[in-house]
Amino acid sequence: MKNTRTAGIIIIGNEILSGKVRDINSYYLVCELRALGVEVKRISVIPDDIEIIGVEVAAFSGTYDYVFTAGGVGPTHDDVTMAGIAKGFGVNLVSHDGIKNILYSRYKDLVNSSVLKMTEVPEGSDIDFQGNMRFPVVSFKNVIIFPGIPEYMQNKFSIIKEKFRSSVFHLKRLYLNCHESNIAEILTGVAEEYKEVTFGSYPILGKPDFKVIITAETKSEELLKTALDELIKRLPDDILVRVEW
């Protein structure tokens, strides 16, 4: 998994941190990116603060292959994501003519200073506008900037997601009727032997036939099968309920 593309997700908004709105954008992005073969390494939730946004986005940009932000994009006073990213990279915030044309075409005589705020992007940004988008996807360097409204974010991501596709992860699950303590030592031994396979152990409550799910994941299907065969061989026969391949 050394060549796996990595990503960081930054959720921006006081409404998330205050509990006014539930964050579903990070969960959506994690699931979609994993299916594309991209490994999410970190999720951060930060306020609508220009300084904090700038520091966080610049740090993520230097650490991960892709950075996805959601929130703080729009016409109101607290939509400061674009300004924060510009500050973090030391560039100007500029009005983009292409976005301005789109907004004038849509709003016509209703364009005002608040609407024109949405034309401002970090200088040097890339603009990706496709026919069924209400508003283009703005990216700066390796930072892809999404709105916080889940429906808008999901629509935009679904249109551009193929550009992030990498080799897929292979995932298998073992269902065990035992407690974690019964298999912890065995699992640790196999995980140490097969370091390119990511193992996870998850206790499950309320199921009559199993108490633990073991997951194993890697980008090599052959290695995954070898590692799982070894794990199954070491487990007591009477605790394995089923394997989902």
0.85 surpassed by pTM: yes
| Domain locations along the chain | 6-164, 170-244
- What is the pLDDT confidence band of residue 1, given thresholds at 50, 70 and 90? low
Q: Do β-strands 66-70 and 6-12 pair in parallel, antiparallel, or remain unpaired?
A: parallel
Q: Could you read off the pLDDT of 61-107 as tens digits, one per residue?
A: 999 999 999 999 999 999 999 999 999 999 999 999 999 998 898 88
CATH assignment, 170-244: 3.30.70.2860
Tokens 């609508």, located at residue: 48
Class of domain 6-164: alpha beta
Tokens of 6: 């990595």
- What is the pLDDT confidence band of residue 39, given thresholds at 50, 70 and 90? very high
Classify residue 207 as left (phi > 0), alpha (psi -120 to 50) or beta.
beta
Other C-beta atoms lying within 10 Å of the C-beta of residue 57: 29
**Hey, what amino acid is at 33?**
L
DSSP letters of 117-128? HTTEEETT-EEE
